[in-house]
Amino acid sequence: MLSTHAIYLNDLLGLSNLENVKIKFNQWNTEEDPIDVFQANPELINNQWLFWRNQKRYFNVNDVAINLVRVKGDIYLLTTVKLVTEELGVIHGINYAGKELKRYRPLYGRVLIKYHKDFQASVVNAESKLEKLVVSQVLPDVYKNDGFPGYDSVCLSYQQLKLVLEKNKSEWITALSNQKAVYLIRDVSNGKLYVGSATSKNGMLLDRWRSYISNGHGGNKCLQELIKEAGFEYVKKNFQYSILENYNSRVDDSFILRRESWWKKVFDSRNKKFGYNEN
């Protein structure tokens, strides 16, 4: 009978003394997606992103640093494990030097980890976390970005959507350019929702979302008022974009608009307590 027990990252690494082991979680920053950076330049992720320091000292000499890069959702990729060999005394820069542990080299870029990160810190002690990092998959080769995840799996922050569009990622552009849709914008700071539609009249999904990246409001009255009061930076910090329903270009606009109205009713997004829809 096959075992159903989970395999954890340390089952692969076999680290016995965890007191000097730390884990670095690399996630989106305001400009770059770390998984894109890893694919373009692994050394950048495994040195600059791993060993960058602001005010706080993250590592000490002889620490073991495990570097994880967020792929999507709760999935992370193991990119390197390094022994910290030197502290450089740099603030707001690369503050450490490290030596890659060669015995783990076959695992780098190939082990996908599932872990729900519910804390702000990017570097944590491994003692309380390592045994919770579940091995989701060991890939036959180094990870390659799958591109567009499917319409029902799109959930992007403003910065993530901006990056996708500015980098002109071909799979995303193709998927969004010829689609009509009913989409959802969520304000993560207060839970308020905005339901919108993409049609041949007001712009297909790609055009609509480009307008939000450009000005934050896409021409919508309530969102314009919000930006006037709170500023564009509020949108950049708090807005999240997803797709409720998508349709090909042959579907009549009137049907899309009826579905949009239905979702406004479902979410009660015309109610100023719950949403940003004006009508």
Dihedrals φ, ψ of 44, to 5°?
-65, -45
Q: What is the mean pLDDT of residues 78-103?
A: 96
This prediction has a pTM of 0.63
Q: What is the mean pLDDT of residues 259-277?
A: 97
Per-residue pLDDT of 3-60, as tens digits, reads: 568 999 999 999 988 999 999 999 876 567 888 889 888 999 999 999 999 888 999 9
Q: Are 57 and 118 in contact, with CB atoms under 8 Å apart?
A: no
Dihedrals φ, ψ of 275, to 5°?
-155, 180
Domains and CATH numbers, the chain: 9-138 (no CATH), 151-267 (3.40.1440.10)
Strands, E, within 88-217: which ranges?
A: 93-94, 96-100, 111-114, 123-125, 134-138, 155-157, 179-187, 193-198
How far lies 196's CA from each of 7, 68, 88, 96, 202, in Å? 43, 36, 51, 47, 10
Q: Are 206 and 154 in contact, with CB atoms under 8 Å apart?
A: no
Q: Are 140 and 19 in contact, with CB atoms under 8 Å apart?
A: no
What are the structure tokens assigned to 110, written together?
Answer: 């190939």
Looking at the DSSP assignment, which residues form a beta bridge with residue 158?
Answer: none
Per-residue pLDDT of 191-242, as tens digits, reads: 999 999 999 988 899 999 999 999 999 999 999 999 999 999 999 999 999 9
Closest CA to 77 of 155, 126, 12, 138: 138
Residue 148 confidence (pLDDT): 85
Residue 1 confidence (pLDDT): 47
Q: What is the mean pLDDT of residues 84-110?
A: 96
Top pLDDT among 30 and 91 is at: 91
Residues 6+ apart with CB under 8 A from 271: none
Q: Which of 126-130, 141-145, 204-208 has the lowest mean pLDDT?
A: 141-145
